Amino acid sequence: MSLTRAESARGSSPTVSRGSASANPENPWGDTKTATVTVGDTIGPTGRPRPYFPEPIPLTEHGPARVIAMVNQKGGVGKTTTTINLGAALAEVGLKVLLVDFDPQGALSVGLGINPLQLDLTVYNLLMERGITAHDVLLKTGVDGMDLLPSNIDLSAAEVQLVTEVAREQVLGRVIAPLLPEYDVCLIDCQPSLGLLTINALTAAHGVMVPLECEFFALRGVALLMDTIQKVQERLNQDLVIEGLLATMYDARTLHGREVLARVVEAFDEQVFHTVINRTVRFPDATVAGEPITSFDPSSLGANAYRELAREVLSRWQYAEEE
């Protein structure tokens, strides 16, 4: 899989230490591990030196998709907001993005301007009915290169009905598999629970991303989440990795916000993304408008934060490939 092609010779900032651009067409990034390159002595909001994440250049071929489950059983921490906006930011740099609404609330579908009550086919039909294919359920979104498997309240019945299925934890992975060769990344927006639907998402995924709201109880429940991830690794999906923890709704002006973020970094260190998403009313506004912040308010700090996250994620994948 060749997901990123970071620019090999940006050369605009003298403070960026980079390896020489490689003449080897197999390795257009040169021999520097860009994920670890830091820009001067700038300390980022996580209290660590802020690395330089290069602009990816467009892919010339697509697929197969890396599947990421967006998980936290705590509600309202930014899972859906991150799925929409990270997806849109990745699509903006040329990746083909598949979003899966895996929450009966249908918030991801609503956030993309779709009325979940008017859907004929949803992920529920895909999971439960033979003869329905992922292509039947697939919808285009308003973002070029980003498609959606939508959901609505019907999905809540699947949690119960799946219990009696053979290989009940593997149903989602099986039904989305035919789409994956066409996409570069697939983001699964999970509901706030560690029930069977979320276990299906973790079983289908290569990586799990954990958004954490920067408030006092941010870490409450994270131990249980890590325990669940470990069990899935042991029993269902040994290749599952933790993609990273993402601090959301951060307010640098409050001591409380800074303390919570410091505590998260203390607990999870390098697993915490350098990119931090600030609290801003533009996110709820974009949700109401039914579009990602990258198109609703393209030059906003929020839009740029998700673009930065997209670059960081791509750098991590590139780094993992080079290891």
Ligand X SMILES: Nc1ncnc2c1ncn2[C@@H]1O[C@H](COP(=O)(O)OP(=O)(O)OP(=O)(O)O)[C@@H](O)[C@H]1O
> What amino acid occupies position 288?
V
For residue 293, give Cα distances in angstroms to 16, 175, 187, 231, 287: 29, 30, 17, 35, 8
Question: What is the smallest separation between the CB atom of 110 and ligand X, expressed in angstroms?
Answer: 10
Q: Which is nearer to ligand X, 208 or 249 (CB)?
A: 249
Q: Which does 283 bind (CB under 5 to 8 A by kind): Mg ion, ligand X, none?
A: ligand X
Question: What is the smallest separation between the CB atom of 287 and Mg ion, expressed in angstroms?
Answer: 10
| 277 lines the binding site for ligand X (CB under 6 A) | yes
| 107 lines the binding site for ligand X (CB under 6 A) | yes
| 248 lines the binding site for ligand X (CB under 6 A) | yes
One residue of 8, 34, 81, 198 binding ligand X per CB under 6 A: 81
For residue 276, give Cα distances in angstroms to 80, 85, 261, 284: 16, 13, 9, 17
CA angle 172, 173, 174 (to 5 degrees): 90
| 315 lines the binding site for ligand X (CB under 6 A) | no
Q: Which is nearer to ligand X, 10 or 258 (CB)?
A: 258
For residue 172, give Cα distances in angstroms to 76, 100, 165, 168, 259: 24, 10, 12, 9, 38
| 79 lines the binding site for Mg ion (CB under 5 A) | yes
Number of residues this chain uses to bind Mg ion (CB under 5 A): 3
Q: Which is nearer to ligand X, 49 or 192 (CB)?
A: 192
Please choose, out of 106-114, 119-127, 161-169, 253-261, the segment that lies near Mg ion by the rule CB under 5 A.
106-114
Q: Which is nearer to Mg ion, 32 or 80 (CB)?
A: 80
ω into 25 cis (within 30 of 0): no
Number of helices (H) and strands (E), helices first, in the chain? 12, 9
One residue of 44, 63, 192, 221 binding ligand X per CB under 6 A: 192
Q: What kind and span of H or E run contains 316?
A: helix 301-322
Helix axes 196-204, 222-235, angle to 10 degrees: 60
One residue of 283, 296, 306, 317 binding ligand X per CB under 6 A: 283
**Contacting ligand X within 117-176 (CB under 6 A):** none
Strand order in the sheet with 139-140: 139-140, 146-149, 97-102, 185-190, 66-70, 207-213, 241-248
Tokens representing 282 are 């533009």
| 4 lines the binding site for ligand X (CB under 6 A) | no
| 107 lines the binding site for Mg ion (CB under 5 A) | yes
| 80 lines the binding site for ligand X (CB under 6 A) | yes
Q: Which residue sits closest to Mg ion, CB atoms considered?
A: 80
CB 159 within 8 A of CB 153: no
Residues found near ligand X in the complex (CB under 6 A): 75-81, 103, 107, 192, 248-249, 277, 279-280, 283-284, 287
Residues found near Mg ion in the complex (CB under 5 A): 79-80, 107
